[in-house]
Amino acid sequence: MFKPLAAWVPIAMSVAALALVLFHIATAGTAPQGDEGAEAHIFQLLIAGQVPILIFYALRWLPRDPNGALLVIGVQLVAAVCAMAPVYLLRWSSVSPAYRNLGERERERERRFATMKRSVDGVVVY
């Protein structure tokens, strides 16, 4: 079941993503940051990188051993959810309840500040 490389690599990637989140909490705290840093991008790559490996594993092993493959895929999905849960619970994403509960006025204000442009003597500075 867990012998193929494609079986445990997504689990290792989820563990690495969770470790990255815990490291960020330990070093920077839980307050949302104004700018996505390298940690956020690495987290996104670790989570998104699991998808092709998971698809490959499912295509290769589901026909051979359906019960074992479903168990491995279930463990992989649980590991991914465990890695993403702190991001959702700490409201670091736009799908968190705190963001959804903002009124339209506050949401527009958030969007404006996220894409704010300053004009200095007629020159747009990003």
Query: Confidence class of residue 99 from pLDDT cuts 50, 70 and 90?
Result: low
What 8-state DSSP symbol labels residue 33?
P
Q: What angle do CA 33, 101, 35 make, to 5 degrees?
A: 15
The beta strand positions in 1-126, using DSSP E, are 118-120, 123-125
- Tell me how far apart the alpha carbons of residues 65 and 83 are, in angstroms, rounded to a whole number: 27
Which residues contact residue 80 at a Cβ distance below 8 angstroms, ignoring those fewer than 6 apart? 10, 14, 47, 50
- 33 pLDDT above the threshold of 80: no
Here the tokens at position 104 are 């339209």
How many residues would you count in the chain?
Answer: 126
pLDDT band at 100 (very low <50, low <70, confident <90, very high): low
Closest among 82, 118, 99, 105 to 32, alpha carbons compared: 99
pLDDT digits (tens, 9 = 90+) for 71-98: 999 999 999 999 999 988 887 776 555 5
Q: Residue 94 sits in which domain range? A: 5-125
Count structural domains, the chain.
1
Distance CA 120, CA 100 (A): 34
Predicted local distance difference test score (pLDDT) of residue 74: 96
The pLDDT value recorded for residue 58 is 95
Q: What is the pTM of this model?
A: 0.71
**What would the mean pLDDT of 48-66 be, rounded to a whole number?**
95
H/E element, 29: none
